[in-house]
Amino acid sequence: MTRSVLVVGIFAATLVLALTKPRRIHEAVWTTCGAAAMLSVGAVDARGLRAIYDASRAAILFLVALLVLSALVDKSGLFEWAALRAARSARGDGRVLFRNVFVLGAVVTATLSLDTTAVLLTPVVLSFVRRLDVNARPYVVACAFVANAGSLALPVSNLTNLILAGAFHVSFAGFVVHMLPVQVGVLLVTYTSLRRHFVSELGRFDATKVDAGAADFGTVIPHRRYFLTTVGVLATALGGYLVAPLFAIEPYVIAFAASGVLAVAGALAGRVRPGTARDVSWGVVPFVIGLFVVVQGLDGLGLAPALARLIAGAPGGAIGRSLATTGLTAIASNVMNNLPAALVARAALVPLGGHPALVYATLVGTNVGPNVVPFGSLATVLVLTLARERGVRVSAWSFARAGLWATPLVCLLASLAIALTTQ
């Protein structure tokens, strides 16, 4: 009993400290300390560490590759160019600008992961809306929401996708076939809900302010050949993810290869230098590894078996189990953050056979479900933190009001669609 209380205390303290970051200490420090605490009290042993390595090696390598790839893409000016196009094509209409930002966030999230949207795209969007002198709050919330809700399309869009797809051997192509239609529906409902929520804050803006900054925008694409190479490499990498399983090649190999090509091309163009390594968000890696160890410490408390029993006992057959999976994992994501929720759910799905419908329903709960509280996902925390550092504050209640009724509706519709199409 004493150990159980201790394990729960370590887990809770780790999450609170990692998400609030007192004294601005990086979240990775807190999850690393939490992992060390779990090891010191014997909640995780050598066998547990081996299980973490076996289950997460491919996902961690892919995460590293994506972090490097995203930093190299940023050097090409692709994000700034896309944001400029979004601002110019809006022609002074705040509603169109909001739509363009949402679509841009969805594309970046799908192809380069939600962390890229949070860390690299959000500052660019904030810079543009400040230049246009419009209310930044709707655009900040849009970045946070689309980072989560837009991460269902591809396995590379979210670490939770990589973890669950890898654990239950879901191919890249199979994932896309099942989840891409669901993703489109999720984005449509989420966008419609957000636009209605912020309709009074999306007025017109002075379109001449976009052109007034043309001199600055001229540096958006500092090297045209590297820019075009970046676009070509990203397109090739996406195709490579689809065919890699046919040759027993892990997706992270494709991502590292793409990073290598861009690193060489960027160096030749003078855009990538030794100091570029400092621009990679390396802190995400120890944060995730530490969190894996902390969650592993919870295994002995029976959370996963309890979740499995709740899902298996849900009324309504396959549809009921799908709805229960989405609902329970969404609640867990808002209580304990979505990554720990996904790790617990992964263990719970093993005795249930890892049916694709339950795997995809879990992804809806852990990817879309966090759009209720500001600490539901690391991406949300990063977006709101970056906004706050730039003088744009979004309160917890303001964020919750935007997602409190829309998120359950989106989860319900997506879970139903999955249950009906994966039988």
Structure confidence at residue 218 as a pLDDT band (50, 70, 90): low
pLDDT 10s digits, 272-297: 998 899 999 999 999 999 999 999 99
Q: For the chain, give the mean pLDDT.
A: 92
Residue 215 has pLDDT above 50, yes or no: no
Cα distances (angstroms) measured from residue 370 to each of 334, 374, 406: 5, 8, 12
pLDDT 10s digits, 73-129: 999 999 989 998 899 899 999 999 999 999 999 999 999 999 999 999 999 999 888
pTM score, whole prediction = 0.91
Residue 220 has pLDDT above 80, yes or no: no
Residue 216 has pLDDT above 80, yes or no: no
Structural contact between residues 117 and 104, judged by C-beta atoms closer than 8 angstroms: no
Residue 219 has pLDDT above 70, yes or no: no
Checking phi first, is residue 92 left (phi over 0); if not, alpha (psi -120 to 50) or beta? left
pLDDT 10s digits, 172-214: 999 999 999 999 999 999 999 999 999 999 989 988 877 655 4
Query: How far is Cα 22 from Cα 364, in angstroms, rounded to an integer?
Result: 31
What is the mean predicted confidence (pLDDT) over 5-31? Answer: 92
Query: How far is Cα 366 from Cα 364, in angstroms, rounded to an integer?
Result: 6
Structural contact between residues 27 and 19, judged by C-beta atoms closer than 8 angstroms: yes
Structure confidence at residue 136 as a pLDDT band (50, 70, 90): very high
What's the pLDDT score for residue 213? 53
